[in-house]
Amino acid sequence: MYLHRGSGIQYKSVEMVNLGFNIGDLSFKNPVLTASGTFGYGAEYDDFFDVSALGGIILKGTTLEHREGNRYPRMAETPSGMLNSVGLQNRGIDYFENEIYPKVADYDTNVIVNVNGNTVEDYVALTDRINRLDKIPAIELNISCPNVKSGGMIFGTNIDSARTVIREVRSVCSKKMIVKLSPNVTDVVTFARIAEEEGADAISLINTLLGMAIDVNRMRPALSTVTGGLSGPAIRPVAVRMVWQVAKAVSLPIIGLGGISSTNDAIEFFLAGASAVQIGTYSFVDPSISISIVEGIENYLMSKGFSDIKDIVGYINK
Amino acid sequence: MKRQELLKVLENKRINDDVFMIVLGSKNQLPPMLPGQFVQVKVESGMVFLRRPFSVHDVDYAENNFSLLIQVVGEGTKAISRVVKGSMVDVIYPLGNSFSMPVDAQKPLLIGGGVGVAPIFFMAKVLTNKGFKPDILLGFRNIKSVIKYEQFIEVGKVFVTTEDGSLGVKGYVTDHPVFNSGIYDISYCCGPEPMMRAVAGICGEKGIKCEVSLENLMGCGIGACLCCVVDTVRGNVCTCTEGPVFNINQLKW
């Protein structure tokens, strides 16, 4: 009731336009999800809006084992962006299953687990654990985290290891599998094709861009890990370009993300070829931005005379 | 419950060279706020986009407003320091935990350094209203950087240190003889981290219970980004949700 922005909290679809999209037989009520690592486990945002009104939420990156993450400082603000090096801090799958899953299972939307590991075996074992959780309809295979010493981006930037981890996870994964790609490669299309060939159900891109900032007063790197992942509005043009490239090359549904902070930002991704979007860093600034964008997309479609979000997916290529 | 709200700037007053006090009013009833809690203020300025956290400095429930002290340290705080009376600012609040209350006849010592005096004032006021008689130790660089000395006198017995001796005892707060009085059971501290570490050290030595309010870099302020962590006996925890106030026996200092 204190939201200043639109009528986000009272959001109700007027059902004049269809916002739904599918990954195979998995339906999403609208094409706006929240990006892993920016939305906690949903509860952090419960005070601000009805999280279940989103198309889906992608939970904080999860690993088999408890991880403390990297040392402070883990964050540095940069022009229209931020660097982070959280390092997949999470309490591991046992804690997730016992303490978090029972809570997130109550959300009336698609709750997706972002899966990480040091080794292919870790990814496979974690996927196997998530297979048993009925209320989780999909995993997002994170082969693109830049902030861990092993695993993460190392898989997502090497053609052979990317293929191996996607193939091995696919062989055990009974859920929908979204592969999250790294932008820190020469040709993102190569990795998108590998994901498609190895049986991914969808592709999400982009994860953060590897970056670095230096504190000139302390004359030290701003982050404890020296390098970190850049997110926020600064990276949006890179993300839109990569979504456009991948959309032309594969036939899988694409979930675009990277620096979306408004409805128009989100629309760019649809026009470039994304079937859905994820809202990331900007949720820190405006906790209810994601639901505002759902409403904004509906208004955009009506104002342009479209009745279905699918009508504008890849529109610039038509 | 946390809320995001547009608040009206009722006043913006310069306190010294680089510190401003802004008073924010709501058209809704203010939520209960506790000393130590903070707010996240949206920055309306070019390339800066993350919110900036500020401790609640004072709350006036009768007038339905509260105040913040804004020290200009960069582009974000500079923009916030320039908000004009009558304009609206986007605030998420109240956030974080609060200082604990002393029990029974405990004698509290409040310690504030620089703009860190912000939550110390609120705490002093609440303690006084609850019948405690807090002493207040304030540390500043020099007499020109003193913040709201007259207001502090109204809520407790005030001691001051300045680094150049231009007001009160010369030196840091930990140089003040008040620590040798042996009358304090509990202390509450907010200021630059080196100061808080020094205060934690001296309180530890003298067996004075001590709580400090941390100011780690924050992305979100609501426990989602995991950027503002502090290393505690329980591992890395978010300053924004598990803090900003920590008992020093929880910190790996």
Assess B1–A contact: CB distance below 8 Å, yes or no.
Answer: yes
Answer yes or no: do A74 and B6 touch at CB < 8 A. no
Q: Residue B3: which of A47, A72, A86 has the nearest Cβ?
A: A47
Decide if pLDDT at A235 tops 60: yes
Confidence of residue B20 (pLDDT cuts 50, 70, 90): very high
Which pLDDT band, with edges at 50, 70 and 90, does A6 fall under?
Answer: very low
Q: Are A63 and A117 in contact (CB under 8 A)?
A: yes
- What domain range is A301 assigned to? 8-317
Is B2 in Cβ contact with A77 (below 8 Å)? Answer: no
A286 touches chain B (CB under 8 A): yes
Question: Does A1 map to a domain?
Answer: no
pLDDT grade, residue A144 (50/70/90)?
confident
Decide if A251 touches B, using CB distance below 8 A: no
Pick the residue of A1, A66, A70, A75 with the most B CBs within 10 A to test the interface with B by mutation: A75
Long-range contacts of the stretch B154-160 (C-beta < 8 A, 24+) = B155/B121, B155/B124, B155/B125, B155/B127, B155/B128, B156/B110, B156/B124, B156/B127, B156/B128, B157/B133, B159/B135
Q: Is B56 helix (H, G, I), strand (E, B) or coil?
A: strand
CATH 2.10.240.10 fits B214-253, yes or no: yes
Best residue of A284, A288, A290, A291 to probe chain B, by most B CBs closer than 10 Å: A284
**Among all residues of A, which ones are annotated catalytic?**
145
Q: Residue A11 — pLDDT band, cuts 50, 70, 90?
A: low
Cβ–Cβ gap B220/A284 under 8 Å: yes
Q: What is the largest CA-CA distance in chain A?
A: 57
Mean pLDDT of A215-233: 97
Using CB atoms, pick whichever of B49, B221, B235 lies closest to residue A232.
Answer: B49
A284 touches chain B (CB under 8 A): yes
Average pLDDT, chain B: 96
**Residues of A whose CB is below 8 A from B50:** 77, 82, 284-285
**The CATH fold of domain B99-202:** Rossmann fold (3.40.50)
Mean per-residue pLDDT for A201-225?
97
Does the beta-carbon distance from A84 to B236 stay under 8 Å? no
Residue A8 has pLDDT above 60, yes or no: no
| Confidence at A3, pLDDT banded by 50, 70, 90 | very low
Q: Which of A179-188, A193-202, B42-51 is predicted least confidently?
A: B42-51
Tokens 């304030």 — which residue? B138
Confidence of residue B107 (pLDDT cuts 50, 70, 90): very high
pLDDT surpassing 80 at residue A15: no
Cβ atoms within 10 Å, residue B177? 8
Q: Look at residue A13 and tell me whether its pLDDT is greater than 90.
A: no
Determine whether the interchain pair B90/A40 forms a contact, defined as Cβ–Cβ distance below 8 Å. Answer: no
- Answer yes or no: is A186 within a domain: yes
**Least Cα separation, residue B233 to chain A (angstroms):** 12
Could you tell me if residue A3 is inside a domain? no
Using a cut of 0.90, tell me whether the model's pTM lies above it.
yes
Q: Quick one: B3-95 is in which CATH superfamily?
A: Translation factors (2.40.30.10)
**Contact check, Cβ <8 Å, A285/B42:** yes
More confident residue, A152 or B71: B71
**What is chain A's mean pLDDT, rounded?**
94
For residues A244 and A258, what is the distance between their CA atoms, to the nearest angstrom?
Answer: 13
Q: What is the pLDDT of residue A106?
A: 95
Q: What is the CATH number of the domain that holds A235?
A: 3.20.20.70
For B79-103, write each residue's pLDDT tens digit.
Answer: 999 999 999 999 999 999 999 999 9
pLDDT of residue B117: 98
pLDDT at site B140: 97
> For residues A176-200, b (16+ Cβ closer than 10 Å) or e, as one string?
bbbbbbbbbbeebbebbbbbbebeb
Report how many domains make up chain A: 1
DSSP conformational letter for B48 = B
Cross-chain residue pair B224–A38, CB shorter than 8 Å: yes
For the record, the structure tokens of A78 come out as 């940069």
Instruction: Compute the distance between CA of residue A50 and CA of residue A11 in angstroms, rounded to an integer.
Output: 9
Residue A60 lies in a domain: yes
d(CA B165, CA B168): 6
A39-68: per-residue pLDDT in tens? 999 999 999 999 999 999 999 999 999 999
User: Chain A window 142-161: which residues touch B at a Cβ cutoff of 8 Å?
Assistant: none
